Amino acid sequence: MNLLEKRVQEIIEENGGMDFAKDVLQHGCQSGTVSELIYYKDTHKWYDEFYDEIEELREELENSLGEPLKVNGDLKNWYAWLGFEETTRKLYDF
């Protein structure tokens, strides 16, 4: 388990476990569900802290899709949310 996966799992468990994970997967980080990732200053910090893990996720997704991801909006914010949501999906595959 990498550092991103450990941190995401901690946040999910601190916020109710499976129900919280389902909310993240249904509504995404953009809904404000993840209080640690609401403000740009926080998402930018998250992106910088977990850059390597997020890049691994990006590469995996692009390889499975066969095309580059299309970033919508602020790059660091978008990838921070992607990192949290995809890690949640990996940890809590419903």
12: nearest Cα among 35, 40, 39 = 35
What pTM was computed for the model? Answer: 0.94
Residue 71's domain comprises 3-91
Domain count, the chain: 1
Question: Token digits for 40?
Answer: 């740009």
Q: How far apart are CA 59 and CA 1, in angstroms?
A: 18
pLDDT tens per residue, range 8-40: 999 999 999 999 999 999 999 999 999 999 999
